[in-house]
Amino acid sequence: MSNERIKTVVEDLVQVLQDFMHKHEISHDEYRVATDVIIDSIKAGEESLFFDVFFEAEATDISNKARKGSPEAIEGPFYCVGAPLLSLPYVMPQRINERGDVLYFRGRISDTDGKPLPAVELDLWHADADGLYSNIHPDIPDWNLRGRFQTDADGYYEVKTILPPPYEIPKNGPTGKVLSALGRHFFRPAHLHVKIRHPKYSEMTSQLYFEGGEYLDNDVANAVRDGLIARLVYRNSSADLVTRELSLPFYELCYDFKLTPL
């Protein structure tokens, strides 16, 4: 960010907030309540959660306006750099007897002209069957349900994992208390987070949601967008069995990404 840009946006932000204080005749006490919410959220380790729930979706909408490829969605507070590099056949790192229905996440990645792209990296992370993330919540092995893998020579990818449930934001933390005061619920719809990288294309961060899932219309983080709800297919007949999966039932989520050139 250039100094000039910082000056432009910070001066405007300060002005907007000052006008807001006058509009609502904010008292000293109310001013302190507001700053304490931010300080408490930082002390509770929720600084990113607090801002991401209320504001990050606006930034992705703004960047999506100029994008030709697949839409982006918010990163959220739980991305970690350096997830394990998986080897074929791709299976997300998980505990023995990891709970949750088996999910195959697969699809194809191409450029905006439809040319399939090999060796695109997908960096996938999602919650476990309790709706908790590794490297964040205690008692889960580090890097559980976090992994990186690539598209094949024809641009296809496929990874085996488990189907995550909706995510519930901690109710009793500073962010939860603000949501309670607003009379809002604490849930995000079930989702997969993904970052997609290739040296010649713009890196993208997105999320995929499951068609028919709960909270798609009232995500607490307001981050669901039309192009990101994918069809979840339930496979439960022997005709559905293929060499890569030997037991029923399982789910499949198919999603094709289009990358925007640099």
In the complex, what is the shortest distance from the CB of residue 184 to Fe ion, in angstroms, rounded to a whole number?
Answer: 17
Q: Would you say 157 or 209 has its CB closer to Fe ion?
A: 209
Contacts with Fe ion, residue ranges (CB under 5 A): 76
151 vs 206, beta carbon nearer ligand MBD? 206
Residues 201-220 that bind ligand MBD (CB under 6 A): none
The C-alpha torsion from 164 through 170 and 175 to 178, rounded to 10°, is 110
Exactly one of 70, 71, 72, 76 binds ligand MBD (CB under 6 A); which one? 76
Return d(Cα 140, Cα 175) in angstroms, integer.
23
Least distance CB 167 / Fe ion (angstroms): 5
Q: Are strands 121-125 and 146-150 parallel, antiparallel or unpaired?
A: antiparallel
Residue 238 φ/ψ, nearest 5 degrees: -60, -25
Return the one option of Fe ion, ligand MBD, none that residue 208 interacts with (CB less than 5 to 8 A, by type).
Answer: none
Q: Which does 53 bind (CB under 5 to 8 A by kind): Fe ion, ligand MBD, none?
A: ligand MBD
| Nearest distance, CB of residue 99 and ligand MBD, angstroms | 18
Alpha-carbon Rg for the chain, nearest whole angstrom, is: 20
List, in sequence order, every residue forming a beta bridge with 158; answer none if it has no partner.
106
Pairing of β 187-188 and β 191-198: unpaired
Residue 74 near ligand MBD by CB under 6 A: yes
What is the CB neighbour count within 10 angstroms for residue 75? 19
Phi and psi, residue 250, nearest 5°:
-150, 165
- Structure tokens given for 34: 């507001």
Q: How far apart are CA 146 and CA 122, in angstroms?
A: 11
Which CB atom, from 20 or from 55, has the smaller least distance to ligand MBD?
55
- Stretch of 3-11, 45-53, 208-216, 227-235 contacting ligand MBD, by CB under 6 A: 45-53
Work out how close the CB of 78 gets to Fe ion at its nearest, in angstroms, rounded to a whole number.
6
Q: Are the C-beta atoms of 202 and 111 separated by less than 8 Å?
A: no
| β-bridge partners, 235 | 250
The entry of ligand MBD, Fe ion, none that residue 221 binds, CB within 5 to 8 Å by partner kind: ligand MBD
CB of 179 to ligand MBD, least distance (A): 11
Cα–Cα distance list, 196 to 10, 35, 58, 101, 161 (Å): 31, 36, 20, 25, 18
Contact map string, positions 162 to 201, toward ligand MBD, x by CB under 6 A: -----x-x------------------x-------------
Residue 221 binds to ligand MBD (criterion: CB under 6 A)? yes
Q: Footprint of ligand MBD on this chain (CB under 6 A)?
A: 49, 52-53, 74, 76-78, 167, 169, 188, 221, 223
